[in-house]
Structure 1
Amino acid sequence: MFKKILIANRGEIACRVIKTARRMGIQTVAVYSDADAGALHVEMADEAVRLGPPPAAESYLLGDAIIAACKATGAEAVHPGYGFLSEREWFAKKLAEENIAFIGPPPNAIAAMGDKIESKKLAKAAGVNVVPGFVGEIEDTEHAVRIANEIGYPVMMKASAGGGGKGMRLAYSEKDVREGFEATKREGLSSFGDDRVFIEKFIVEPRHIEIQVLGDQHGNVLYLGERECSIQRRHQKVIEEAPSPFVTPEMRKAMGEQAVALAKAVGYYSAGTVELIVSGADTTGMGFYFLEMNTRLQVEHPVTECITGLDLVEQMIRVAAGEKLAFTQDDVKLSGWALESRVYAEDPYRNFLPSIGRLTRYAPPEETSGETTVRVDTGVVEGSEISMFYDPMIAKLITHAPTRIEAADLQVAALDRYRIDGIGHNIDFLSAVMQHQRFRDGRLTTGFIAEEYPDGFEGAPFTDEKRDDLIIAAAVINAITVQRAQFIEGQLNGHGAQFGPDWVIEIDRKPFRVHAEETSSGWTVTHTFEGGTHTHNVATEWEPGEPVFLADVDGRDVAVKLALKPVGYRMTVKGSAHNVRALTPRASALAGHMIEKIPPDLSKFLLCPMPGLVVSVSVAAGDTVEPGQALAVVEAMKMENILRAEKAAVVKSVNAKAGDSLAVDAIIMEFE
């Protein structure tokens, strides 16, 4: 077994590998860019080596620098994580030349599966179901249009070397192909150094399901069940689970055996994933088609670990060291249900725009294990910076329980306790999806988010129970805060301002009368509204300044997140956020006479929705634009975003040009 390994990656996956290596008694070496000098993975590792400036091309993608770090530290093997150099054939070859083990598959397998065009040919030859499409090289836009017309719409355009949702465009018409083909090429070139594109049929009611395979260097290859990854946004996975609520045992066996056949056909060993697109409209159980094979560890590997009890990172290390798999296909048993939510630095309230900045507060939920599990895989701590140079994922929240609904409820409870300040994040959105009836029913497709949130995300539905929880939380928080203020003022002045137990709790300016009294066991809260009066018994240890209000309300656990505002709080319960304040009855009556500030009219401006680089501007001053017309393209975190006109207008002035680096809300153009 290796004595020391180097992790050629950053963030949560580097931390994840370090944890397993430490448990196995293996020393670790971290590498880092200048942007990550104070990162968690650097702190966790036994040693750390600087690679270079923040851009990945000048640090994490420098194979020679990583090999030099191995030699300098005596690392015998390299775990590449995912992304960066994990699927670069040349890197695996160079390591072999230097007698350094690559904790991953052989170079020939990486090469065979790394090209989406060639991999489809190999899959077809191995007897794997393949999506109808054009697997040759496409010359130009006109050629792409002819191919799409022959296949039949809708079609998917994909960068041949793509991955992680980058370099993909869905086209429903010839117009979409003409508009998106060049953008797909540019994204492929920008992110992967390869502008080749292929086109395939888009499957109706598509579900994204993948098979985890694991092989050793002695010819043994197994499949470890499936994962469903259908909850996606812009082809980027958001929520994954194992097993899939759609897959039957017969279907699992068929998919698994095809995945193993493909792996054996390319001499595969280590952990890998065969991704499949499955038609939700198919009733035969065989409506699944090969998409690609990822020759690395997947982001969503924890859900497979939860239901199989295997540590995939450990297995990869053991395989790289030449060990045989210690179990057979018959030994692989699936237990319970696991869900994973990707916590991203993006603002769902602003169309999921990327967010960068410093984590002024970062408090993940407490990890637990036993009959149910809560696990947080992260690479950040409070004070860490989310950089524009890397992927926007902050962490992965994983829950495991006996049933799917229990795992989803565990996610909601954990998300309620997850506190992130300083940047935009998608925690409210993840909670809303977990509570959505269609999700809970397992009626998933890759179009779930677009179909269920066509007008954007505005928070989880505000139910009566959530309303009551906010009223109760606000009443008790206010009572405790006032009680402490009275005590302090009394100590200073000999007396304190006196307030009674009757208050008005306003939720988004809607008033609710409450009566809050302290008891020997906590608090009693009575609130009155249309339809009656409710009394609740509340036990809590909350103290002023704590960011999450945790309480037992009538025997039920309640968690409410708090963000202090100039007046009152921004309170969030189960993905539903509201402005809440406590007023005396007199103050509430007077507040009704206050004039509400009207926000400025920004409809005459096209604002940059995120920090990013202007790729192109399509119009000039004096041009007339129509609703939906493309106005500009802004790149953020390696993704191109097309900004479109919301209504017909005449361009008055253009304030930005291609190559400009803009801050959020910078004016790109003004309309008359």
Structure 2
Amino acid sequence: MFTKILIANRGEIACRVMRTCQRMGIATVAVYSDADDGAVHMRMADEAVHIGPAAAAESYLVIDRIVQACKDTGAQAVHPGYGFLSENQKFAAALEEAGIAFIGPGRKAISAMGDKIESKKLASKAGVNTVPGYLGVIADADEAVKIAGEIGYPVMIKASAGGGGKGMRIARSDDEVREGFKSAMNEARSSFGDDRVFIEKYVEEPRHIEIQVLGDSHGNVIYLGERECSIQRRHQKVVEEAPSPFLDAATRAAMGEQAVALSKAVDYQSAGTVEFIVDRDRNFYFLEMNTRLQVEHPVTELITGIDLVEQMIRVANGEKLSLAQSDVKLNGWAIESRIYAEDPYRGFLPSIGRLSRCRFPDLEGVRVDTGVEEGSEITMFYDPMIAKLCAYGGDRAEAIDVMRAALDRTWIEGISHNVDFVNAVANHPRFQEGRLSTNFIAEEWPDGFEGAALGTETRHALAAVAAHLERIGRAYARTVGTEAPPELQGRDRFVVWLDEDRYEVEISAEPAAQGWAHRVSVAGAPPVMISAPWRPGQTIFSGQMDGLELALLVRRHREGWRLTLQGAEVKAFVRTPRAAELAELMPVKQPPDLSKFLLCPMPGLVVSIDVGEGDQVKAGQPLAVVEAMKMENVLRAERDGTVSVIKAKPGDSLAVDEVILEFE
């Protein structure tokens, strides 16, 4: 067995691989860029080697530096994680030439499956169902339009060397093909150094379901069930689960057998994933094969009990699989929510900055894979993932309940993040029923995410909690400067505003074994008993309401509280009846008019300015392209107008809300 492994990656996945290595007694070597100096993965390893500047193209993607780091430290093998060099056959070849083991499949499999055009041809020969499309290299936008018309709209434009949602566009018209072809090529060139794209038929109402495979160098290949990855935005997965709530045993077996057949056709040796698109009638079509460990691998590990990283290491060491297909059992249910540094309230635009708070709950059935901690910096150079929050239960309903409880107790501040959004997904009736498709987000939030919609009972509960918090806060305030303990006596009346909704509340103290207890009556709802060992300054409120567990985030906000629950954040103003009467007489401050400005919606690099000063523009017309975290974002005019001043140019690095141009 190897005694020292270098992990050619960073962040969450580097830490994940190191945990298995540590359990197996294998020493680890981290590599790090300037931006990652002092990062968690660097400190977690036994040794760390600096490999260059912040930009991945000058550090994590430089093959020679990774190979030299292995030679300098005596690492016998490299685990590439996912992304970066994980599916780069030149990297695998360079390691082989240096006598260093690559913990992944052989070069044949990487080469065959790394090119999406060639992989579809090979899959077809292996008897695997494939999506109709054009698998040749497309020369220009005119040819792309011609091909799309022959296939029939809608179509999917995809980078041949792509992955992770990069270099992918859906097009429903000739104009969208032209624009999507250009953007897909640019993203593919930036992310993979290969700008080839192809076009295939876009399957309506699709579900994205993938099969985990595992092969060794002795001809053995098995499949470890499936993962449902249909909750996506911008073609990037957000929530995954295993098994799929949609597949029956027969479809699972058919998909698994085709995945194994394809793996054997390329002599696959390691963990890998065969991705399928599945229509509403359970017809399935091959999408691609990822010749690496997937981001969402933890859900497979949770339901099978198999450590995929350990299996990859053992296969790379020449060992036979210790498992046969008959040994694979799927037990329980697992769900993964990807926690990203992005703002779902602004179209999921990436966010950068320092994590001033980053705390996940310690609950039974919860697994958190992360590579950051409080104080870590989320930069514009890499993927914006903060963590993978995984929940396990005996069945799907239990796993969802565990996920909801965990998300309600997750506290992140300092940057924008998507915790509210994935919490809204977990609480959505359609998700709970398992009625999924890759269009789920677009269909359920067609005008963008503005927070989860809370029902009447939940809003009554939040009004009661706000009154409970306010009364405890006032009790503590009366003891400031004294040694007297806070006391709760008598009865109070409050008016609670939850955003625009007004609630009259009566509250009185009740005896409690621990913490504080109140009987709270919200007008229009039955009285409730709230008890919790909470005191001012605590951000996680965890207690009971009428004997049922309740958890939410609470933060002070002027005359009240910011309450976050089930993917919704509300501002609760708690006032005495007289103060509420006076507050209603106060004028409302109007926000500034920014309609004459095009503002940069995220920190990023200006790729192009597509208009000039004096140009007349129409609503929906592209104005500029900004790249952030390897994704191109096209900024469009919201209304007709005339460009008066352009304040940015290609190559400029802009901050959030920095002015790009002005209109007359």
* Alignment TM-score, normalising by the size of structure 2: 0.97
Compared with structure 1, are the counterparts of its residues 324 and 470 closer, same or farther at alpha carbon in structure 2 (3 Å cutoff)?
same
| Cα distance in 2, alignment partners of residues 291 and 495 from structure 1 | 63
| CA offsets 1:210-245 (integer angstroms, 9 cap, x no match) | 110001111100011111111110100011111111
In structure 2, the partner of 1:528 is: 522
Q: Secondary structure at the match of 2:276?
A: strand
Question: Equivalent residue for 2:193?
Answer: 193
- The residue that corresponds to 2:568 in the other structure is 576
- Alpha-carbon distance in 2 for matches of 1:122, 1:563: 56
How much does 1:504 deviate? 2.7
Q: C-alpha deviations, 1:348-398, integer Å up to 9, x for none? A: 111111110000111112142xxxx11111111011011100001111111
Instruction: Say whether the 8 Å CA contact 1:104–1:320 is kept in structure 2.
Output: yes
The residue that corresponds to 1:52 in the other structure is 52
Q: 1:479 deviation in Å?
A: 2.1
**Closer, same or farther in 2 for the Cα pair 1:499/1:297, shift >3 Å?**
same
The correspondence of residues 215-364 of structure 1 with structure 2, limited to 5 A, is 215-280=215-280, 282=281, 285=282, 287-364=283-360
The answer for the alignment partner of 1:166 in structure 2 is 166
The offset of 1:584, in angstroms, is 2.4
> Is 1:611 matched up with 2:607?
no
1:648 counterpart residue number: 640
Q: How far apart, CA to CA, are the structure 1 residues paired with 2:45 and 2:267? A: 33
Superposed, 1:454-465 pairs within 5 Å as 454-465=446-457
Does the CA-based 8 Å contact 2:470-2:560 persist in structure 1?
no
Q: How does 1:204-223 map to 2 (within 5 A)?
A: 204-223=204-223
Aligned-residue offset at 1:582:
2.2
1:496 is displaced (CA, Å) by 12
Task: Note the C-alpha offset of 1:256.
Answer: 0.7
| Residue identity matched to 2:518 | T
Map of 1:150 onto structure 2: 150
- What residue number does 1:468 align with? 460
Instruction: Give me the whole-angstrom Cα distance separating, in 2, the residues matched to 1:350 and 1:563.
Output: 22
Q: Which moves more between the two structures, 472-481 or 600-609? A: 472-481
Q: Which amino acid aligns with 1:403?
A: D
Q: TM-score, normalised by structure 1?
A: 0.96
Partner of 1:553: 545
Partner SS, residue 209 of structure 2: strand
Which amino acid letter does the alignment assign opposite residue 549 of structure 1? F
In structure 2, how many angstroms separate the alpha carbons of the residues matched to 1:291 and 1:520? 58
Task: Quote how far apart the aligned CAs of 1:499 are.
Answer: 9.7
Q: Which residue number corresponds to residue 628 of structure 1?
A: 620
Q: Look up the match of 1:41.
A: 41
**C-alpha distance in 2, partners of 1:328/1:111?**
27
Deviation at 1:409, TM superposition (A): 1.7
Per-residue deviation, 1:88: 0.7
Q: Is the contact made by 1:224 and 1:332 (CA closer than 8 Å) also made in structure 2?
A: yes
Q: 1:448 aligns with which of 440, 446, 461?
A: 440
**How big is the shift at 1:498?**
11
Partner of 1:479: 471
8 A Cα contact 2:490 2:508, kept in partner: no
Give, in whole Å, the separation in 1 of the partners of 2:120 and 2:223: 20
Report the more deviating stretch, 500-509 or 441-450.
500-509
Q: Report if the CA contact (8 A) 1:303-1:338 is conserved.
A: yes
**2:438 counterpart letter in structure 1:** T
Can you give the 5+ residue segments of structure 1 that lack an aligned partner in the other structure? none
Instruction: Say whether 1:508 aligns with 2:499.
Output: yes
CA–CA separation in structure 2 for the residues paired with 1:640 and 1:147: 24
Distance 1:574 1:497 in 2: 30
Matched residue SS, 2:478: helix
User: Match for residue 416 of structure 1?
Assistant: 408
Aligned partners of 1:44, 1:376: CA distance in 2, in Å? 16
Partner Cα distance (1:313, 1:490) in 2: 57
What corresponds to 2:398 in structure 1? 406
Q: Distance in 2 between matches of 1:498 and 1:469?
A: 22
What's the CA shift string for 1:591-623, capped at 9, x where partnerless?
Answer: 112222110111121111111111112222222
Give 3-state SS (helix, strand or coil) of 2:527's partner: strand
What is the CA deviation profile of residues 462-486 of structure 1, one whole-angstrom value per residue up to 9, with x for unaligned ones?
1123213322322222222222221
Alignment-mate amino acid for residue 421 of structure 1? E
Q: Secondary structure at the match of 2:380?
A: coil
Letter in 2 for 1:621: E
Gapped runs of 5+ residues in structure 2? none
Write out aligned runs for 1:10-159 (5 A): 10-159=10-159
SS in structure 1 at match of 2:453:
coil
**Corresponding letter in the other structure for 2:369:** D
Identity %: 62
In the alignment, the residues of structure 1 paired with residue 245 and residue 512 of structure 2 have an alpha-carbon distance, to the nearest angstrom, of 47
Q: How far apart are residue 500 of structure 1 and its match?
A: 6.2
1:552 to 1:496, Cα distance in 2 relative to 1, 3 A: closer
Q: Distance in 1 between matches of 2:211 and 2:359?
A: 33
Aligned 8 A contact 2:493 2:504 in 1: no
Report Cα offsets for 1:632-672 as digits up to 9, x if no partner. 11111111111111122222222222222111111112222
Query: Aligned to 2:146, what secondary structure does the other structure show?
Result: helix
Preserved contact between residue 104 and residue 269 of structure 2 (Cα < 8 Å): yes
Tell me the distance in 2 between the aligned counterparts of 1:597 and 1:468.
27
The alpha carbon displacement at 1:491 in A equals 4.6
Residue 525 (structure 1) shift: 2.7
Residue 156 of structure 1 aligns to a residue whose secondary structure is strand
Which region of structure 1 is more displaced relative to structure 2, 194-203 or 558-567? 558-567
Q: Is the 8 A contact 2:41 2:371 kept in 1?
A: yes
